[in-house]
């Protein structure tokens, strides 16, 4: 079974569904209950996803045997730094190598932009994500933002 990871416009039908699934999961975990359709819609409204396209970033979709199953965004911060965002692997595809394939794709895209460092923030409850990042060389760094959901800050030198 194989994964492919390619750039895709964040507004394509498949990318849009992946972004909705991502927001549904992170919001539901945060609130400790299923997110409503209205809450998902509200969370996706004006969320800055428009920056995840050239020249300010990129959005990647991962496919497992051709089926859309993961996504991630890369946002350029400056000439040397980018942020990793919206990393998501659908639950049915976890533990199949999709997270690692997604990170490799993001890191390749970052290098193509000339980026030398990728950073991200995440929450306490996203333990699987933190484990994935640690496994792939992301290390704790001092806080670089004060986002309401930022509880851990990580970075990796490319």
For the stretch 29-79, pLDDT in tens is 999 999 999 999 999 998 999 999 999 999 999 999 999 999 999 999 999
Does 126 have pLDDT greater than 80? yes
**Cis peptide preceding 55, ω within 30 of 0:** yes
Question: Considering the chain, what percentage of its residues have pLDDT values greater than 70?
Answer: 99
pLDDT given at position 46: 87
Measured CA to CA, the distance from residue 157 to residue 10 in angstroms comes to: 26
pLDDT given at position 148: 85
Does 26 have pLDDT greater than 90? yes
Q: Which of 141, 2, 11 is nearest to 73 (CA)?
A: 11
Given phi > 0 = left and psi -120 to 50 = alpha, else beta, which region is 27?
A: alpha
Measured CA to CA, the distance from residue 120 to residue 90 in angstroms comes to: 20
Contact 47, 55 (CB under 8 A): no
Does 1 have pLDDT greater than 80? no
Does 116 have pLDDT greater than 90? yes
- CATH 3.60.20.10 applies to domain 3-119: no
pLDDT given at position 152: 97
Q: Read off the pLDDT band of 132 (50, 70, 90).
A: very high
| pTM: predicted TM-score of the whole model, two decimal places | 0.94
Cβ neighbours, 10 Å, residue 51? 18
Measured CA to CA, the distance from residue 30 to residue 134 in angstroms comes to: 22
pLDDT given at position 147: 85
Q: Phi then psi for 25, rounded to 5 degrees? A: -65, -50
Question: Considering the chain, what percentage of its residues have pLDDT values greater than 90?
Answer: 96
Average pLDDT over residues 80-106: 96
């Amino acid at each position: 079974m194989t994964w492919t990871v390619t750039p895709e416009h964040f507004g394509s039908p498949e990318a849009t569904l992946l972004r909705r699934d991502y927001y549904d999961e992170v919001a539901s975990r945060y609130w400790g209950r299923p997110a409503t359709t209205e809450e998902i819609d509200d969370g996706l409204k004006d969320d800055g996803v428009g920056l995840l396209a050239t020249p300010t970033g990129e959005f990647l979709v991962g496919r497992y045997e051709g089926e859309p199953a993961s996504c991630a965004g890369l946002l350029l911060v400056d000439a040397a730094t980018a942020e990793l965002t919206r990393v998501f692997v659908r639950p049915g595809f976890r533990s199949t190598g999709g997270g690692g394939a997604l990170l490799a794709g993001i890191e390749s895209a970052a290098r193509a932009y000339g980026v030398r460092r990728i950073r991200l923030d995440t929450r306490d409850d996203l333990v699987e994500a933190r484990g994935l990042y640690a496994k792939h060389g992301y290390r704790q760094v001092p806080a670089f933002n004060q986002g309401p959901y930022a509880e851990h800050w990580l970075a990796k030198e490319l």
